[in-house]
């Protein structure tokens, strides 16, 4: 089964962050990085937010409800536009995929370049202190029952490196031997960020300043604890 379809079906119902990004972006020209299949961007467009997106997968970008000129297919690290934005955000723990110091420096340099003076950026992160509290998700895809179960490796946490794994059990009937024969494993390396101080070295020489950490999207209750957004402003 296609891993990209599994990921979309797994994450499409997540909604704890939608109102946070709506409040963050409303009234500002906005750029979403790692936009995926449009879970957040399509919601914002329906609410009237002026939005452009960057997503590397054409099959995902095609699902975003924006004109082609506003949907940029490519790598966020090489994105460049003459337009300057009042808000930039990366939702759903996406910037953790940038695992090297070089990539993080290039990432913040791009944000600094694309933000207008006084503009803000919000970067979502799922803190590793809470990885063991991540929940299973159950859904149906192409007529098959699927259970998504998280797993992880933090043995290199001190080196700022981790591995996140989504295990997708197909035709989940509760029969363990059957499950073991029908599992799709999707693993990827992630950057470990303990707090905002880990990101400050990448701001050196830029006009970006860290301003706050928003926990749990500003909500009292969330499906999973451990979500934070690091917020930056361009001076």
CATH 3.40.50.150 fits 3-127+193-234, yes or no: yes
Cβ atoms 83, 29 nearer than 8 A: yes
Average pLDDT value for residue range 133-148: 94
Residue 177 pLDDT > 50, yes or no?
no
Residue 166 pLDDT > 90, yes or no?
yes
Residue 174 pLDDT > 80, yes or no?
no
| The two structure tokens encoding residue 25 | 């972006």
Instruction: Report the length, in residues, of the chain.
Output: 235
The strand pairing partners of 73, in sequence order, are 55
- CA atoms lying within 13 Å on the CB side of residue 167: 14
**What ranges in the chain are assigned the alpha helix state H?**
3-11, 18-25, 39-46, 58-61, 101-114, 176-181
- CA atoms lying within 13 Å on the CB side of residue 187: 8
Which pLDDT score is estimated for 58?
Answer: 98
Q: What is d(CA 157, CA 69) in angstroms, rounded to the nearest whole number?
A: 40
């Amino acid at each position: 089964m296609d891993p990209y379809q599994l990921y979309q079906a797994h994450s499409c119902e997540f909604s704890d962050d939608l109102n946070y990004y709506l409040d963050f972006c409303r009234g500002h020209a906005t750029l979403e990085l790692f936009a995926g299949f449009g879970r957040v961007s399509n919601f914002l467009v329906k609410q009237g937010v002026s939005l452009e997106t960057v997503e590397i997968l054409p099959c995902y970008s095609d699902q975003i409800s924006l004109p082609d000129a506003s949907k940029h297919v490519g790598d966020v690290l090489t994105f460049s536009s003459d337009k300057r934005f009042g808000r930039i955000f990366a939702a759903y723990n996406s910037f953790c995929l940038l695992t090297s110091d070089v990539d993080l420096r290039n990432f913040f340099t791009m944000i600094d370049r694309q933000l207008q003076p006084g503009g803000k950026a919000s970067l979502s992160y799922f803190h590793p202190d809470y990885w063991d509290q991540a929940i299973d998700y159950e859904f149906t895809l192409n007529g098959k029952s699927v259970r998504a179960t998280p797993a992880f490796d933090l043995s290199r946490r001190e080196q700022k490196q981790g591995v996140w794994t989504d295990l997708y059990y197909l035709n989940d009937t509760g029969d363990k031997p059957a499950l073991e024969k029908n599992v799709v494993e999707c693993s990827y390396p992630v950057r470990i960020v303990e707090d905002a101080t880990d990101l400050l070295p990448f701001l050196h020489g830029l006009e970006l300043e860290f301003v706050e950490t928003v926990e749990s999207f500003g909500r009292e209750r969330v499906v999973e604890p451990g979500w934070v957004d690091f917020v930056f402003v361009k001076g």
